[in-house]
């Protein structure tokens, strides 16, 4: 039996998404920049998808720009904002995805900005009081805080962050890759400048995503080469991927409440079973359901002698998940997230991440295998 518990890395394509993509491949192969019939048909498909996504997010279609994924979208928002708005100060947390953290660090190395990292607690909570303190003395700052952490699942109160940033006229970007398709994002109610999405995190295809740019902001392209995406992103659009993205997000919004309840049930069940089966097991990050991403569970195990072999043992047993440690060893550079929340470097950590396709039976199998491994 193969078990896939690495949905925070990527998700399986929904059959409905595959169907609509294949149909588009058969019938609409034109270049959307071409002015003939085939091109206009492809352009119509893209604009229909853009409108569909905009309606789900409660924004204007003119504020949605398609990209190759979340990393490109993050880089576009960060680099172009800092250059085009003349920003010299940025704030983020040490727990951000490397698409954000490394981009800001490189800009600091190049002398473009001064970068401040917000303090975080041992449960991964970001210090928003310190954010306000920094903004009070640094007006017109670029702030980037992810909605939910991809490793430990902590959810940031974006409404509160937005209020703070508005108070000090800061530019706010949020990497919403892990929560897009899993939570409602009403961007007309949330005052935010940029958010990002990647289709493969909510049962869509890889290689396609989008950037929301608030209509009050005008930035230049990050990628030059053509007039695509209303002169905002050079390169022929990934028509099939965009169709799949829109369909996947439509399905996610339609079934969101049911999927949330079902997957939260899986996560809670696994916490209970692991606690009962393996004495000394601990959970990284905030565990309260309302403050934690329901698809992610990060677990540290007491079997310190298995630190380098735990994931390998799970893999050869047909169980796919991801993990790391708070320290570096060999070619493994370790998890910057676990390191910054001061997780025990001797204890192996595993991230289990769930989807609508997982079952309690799979959890029972994994827990039994983990109990067997840790008992050795």
Catalytic residues: 327
Here the tokens at position 250 are 């439509």
Strand, helix or coil for residue 185: coil
Structure tokens at 331: 């070619």
Nearest to 241 by CA among 72, 96, 366, 85: 72
Contact 161, 91 (CB under 8 A): no
User: What whole-number distance in Å separates Cα of residue 358 and Cα of residue 252?
Assistant: 16
Among positive and negative, which fits the CA dihedral 121, 123, 124, 126? negative
CA 227-241-171 angle, 5° bins: 60
Helices (H) and strands (E) in the chain, counts: 12, 13
CA distance 351 to 324: 8
Rounded to the nearest angstrom, the gap between the alpha carbon of residue 283 and the centroid of all alpha carbons in its chain is: 20
3-state secondary structure of 281: coil
Instruction: In whole angstroms, give the CA distance from residue 54 to residue 49.
Output: 9
Give 361's contacts (C-beta < 8 A, 6+ positions apart): none
Question: Residue 260 to residues 18, 200, 264: CA-CA distances in angstroms?
Answer: 23, 18, 6
Contact 281, 121 (CB under 8 A): no
Please, are residues 348 and 307 in contact by the beta-carbon 8 Å criterion?
Answer: yes
Secondary structure percentages of the chain, helix, strand, coil, to 5: 45, 15, 40
Q: How many angstroms separate the CA atoms of 245 and 203, rounded?
A: 9
């Amino acid at each position: 039996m193969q078990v896939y518990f690495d949905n925070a890395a990527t998700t399986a394509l929904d059959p409905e998404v595959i169907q609509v993509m294949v149909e588009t491949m058969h019938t609409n192969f034109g270049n959307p920049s071409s002015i003939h019939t085939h091109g206009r048909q492809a352009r119509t498909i893209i604009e229909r998808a853009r409108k569909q996504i905009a309606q789900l997010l409660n924004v204007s279609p003119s504020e949605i720009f398609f990209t190759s994924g979340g990393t490109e979208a993050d880089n576009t928002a960060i680099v172009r904002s800092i250059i085009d708005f003349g920003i010299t100060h940025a704030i983020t947390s040490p727990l951000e995805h490397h698409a954000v953290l490394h981009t800001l660090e490189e800009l600091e190395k190049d002398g473009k900005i001064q970068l401040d990292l917000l303090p975080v607690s041992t449960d991964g909570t970001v210090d928003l009081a310190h954010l306000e303190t920094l903004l009070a003395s640094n007006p017109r700052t670029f702030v980037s805080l992810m909605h939910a952490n991809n490793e430990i699942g902590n959810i940031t109160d974006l409404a509160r962050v937005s209020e703070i940033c508005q108070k000090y006229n800061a530019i706010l970007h949020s990497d919403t890759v892990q929560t897009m398709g899993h939570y409602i994002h009403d961007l007309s109610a949330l005052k935010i400048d940029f958010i990002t999405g990647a289709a493969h995190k909510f049962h869509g295809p890889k290689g396609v995503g989008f950037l929301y740019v608030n209509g009050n902001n005008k930035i230049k392209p990050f990628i030059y080469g053509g007039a695509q995406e209303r002169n905002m992103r050079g390169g022929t659009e990934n028509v099939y991927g965009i169709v799949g993205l829109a369909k996947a997000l439509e399905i996610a919004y339609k079934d969101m409440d049911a999927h949330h309840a079902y997957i939260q049930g899986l996560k809670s069940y696994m916490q209970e079973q692991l606690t009962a089966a393996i004495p000394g097991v601990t959970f990284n990050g905030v565990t309260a359901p309302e403050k934690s991403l329901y698809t992610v569970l990060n677990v540290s195990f007491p079997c310190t002698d298995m630190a380098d072999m735990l994931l390998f043992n799970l893999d050869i047993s047909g169980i796919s998940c991801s993990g790391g440690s708070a320290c570096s060893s060999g070619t493994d550079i370790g998890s910057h997230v676990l390191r910054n929340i001061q997780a025990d470097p001797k204890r192996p950590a595993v991230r289990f991440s769930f989807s609508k396709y997982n079952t309690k039976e799979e959890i029972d199998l994994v827990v039994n295998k983990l109990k067997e491994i840790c008992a050795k």
